Structure 1
Amino acid sequence: MSVAEATAHARSADRRITSHDVLTRRADFLAANRGLRVPTPGFVLLVRPNEGQGMRYGITVTKKIGNAVVRNRMKRRLRELLWAQLGTQGLPDHDHVLIGRESGIERDFTKLSSELTSALARAARGEGQRGRPPRGRRRR
């Protein structure tokens, strides 16, 4: 790790993640899908460098999982995990996306927390599956 990288990492380690660091554009989520994938029982973590735009995060839960109440509850739990851990353990200048899985709905919060810690560590080491190419979008 170079001096510049170490300095950037030290600065971001003290940083608290806020609502301004949220990915909202579909293009950002698609770009993250081409990054590194770290699967866990409760969620899938996607990590991709974002060319100096800071540490950002996104959360998505498919409509295949429960109803809106269940999906929103899951997103709140995942958001709380990210706010607690991403500032200290996240990769600087990377986008982090959590994709909720069905088993994550009733999973114990401490288990989800330990899974996120290990997933972020694996992503930092470059372990995980390489990203998927984008699928063609159907036109109506």
Structure 2
Amino acid sequence: MDATDAPGRPALTTLLKRSDFLAAARAPRQARDGFILQARERRQDEKAEGIRVGYTCSKKVGNAVKRNRAKRRLREIARLELPEHGRDGWDYVLIGRRDATAALDFDRLRGDLVSAVAALHKRRRS
């Protein structure tokens, strides 16, 4: 059983539409050494079930091999941490950073994601 299929945990789906990425770009963000996290709560008129997550790595991150490695790492930390720490009805976008996303210690990336999500949700409550 995948972590996203566990009872009581919201399912993760991938953002695909450009409009969803643009909406997240206008949302609050948290920067960490390995990535930038953008997060927004979906509006009432949008489908509000589950956690949606998107990934992006520009050419600044490096060539195709480096970008793909960075995105694989971002997908994995999201798969491991967002079902537990993310919120149902929210969109998250992880943006890779040059020379960092692919190189940082994996456990540090995971911890950074947890702290970034917590900071964004704390900010939302204020």
TM-score in terms of structure 1 length: 0.76
Partner of 2:40: 48
What CA RMSD, in Å, does the superposition of the two structures yield over aligned residues?
1.8
- For residues 7 and 27 of structure 2, the distance between their equivalents in structure 1, rounded to whole angstroms, comes to 22
Which amino acid in the other structure matches residue 101 of structure 1?
R
Partner of 2:26: 34
- For residues 16 and 75 of structure 1, the distance between their equivalents in structure 2, rounded to whole angstroms, comes to 22
- For residues 59 and 14 of structure 1, the distance between their equivalents in structure 2, rounded to whole angstroms, comes to 25
Work out whether 1:71 is the aligned partner of 2:74: no
- For residues 117 and 17 of structure 1, the distance between their equivalents in structure 2, rounded to whole angstroms, comes to 17
Large movers: runs of 4+ above 4 Å:
none
Structure with greater proportional strand content: 2
Partner of 1:125: 122
Which amino acid in the other structure matches residue 15 of structure 1?
R
Which amino acid in the other structure matches residue 25 of structure 1?
K
Decide which of 95, 99, 110 is 1:99's aligned counterpart.
Answer: 95
> Identity across aligned pairs (percent)?
42
Work out whether 1:89 is the aligned partner of 2:81: no
- For residues 7 and 116 of structure 2, the distance between their equivalents in structure 1, rounded to whole angstroms, comes to 17
- For residues 14 and 71 of structure 1, the distance between their equivalents in structure 2, rounded to whole angstroms, comes to 33
Work out whether 1:115 is the aligned partner of 2:112: yes
SS in 1 for 2:116: helix
Alignment of 1:1-40 (within 5 A): 14-15=8-9, 17-18=11-12, 21-40=13-32
Of 71-80 and 48-57, the range deviating more from structure 2? 48-57
**Distance apart, 1:92 and its partner CA:** 1.8
Based on CA coordinates, which of the two structures has the bigger radius of gyration?
1
Query: Paired residues, what number?
Result: 114
**Distance apart, 1:13 and its partner CA:** 8.2
SS in 1 for 2:61: coil
The 1:73–1:111 alpha-carbon spacing in structure 2 relative to 1, beyond 3 Å, is: same
Decide which of 55, 73, 76 is 1:59's aligned counterpart.
Answer: 55
The 1:57–1:22 alpha-carbon spacing in structure 2 relative to 1, beyond 3 Å, is: same
Which amino acid in the other structure matches residue 60 of structure 1?
T
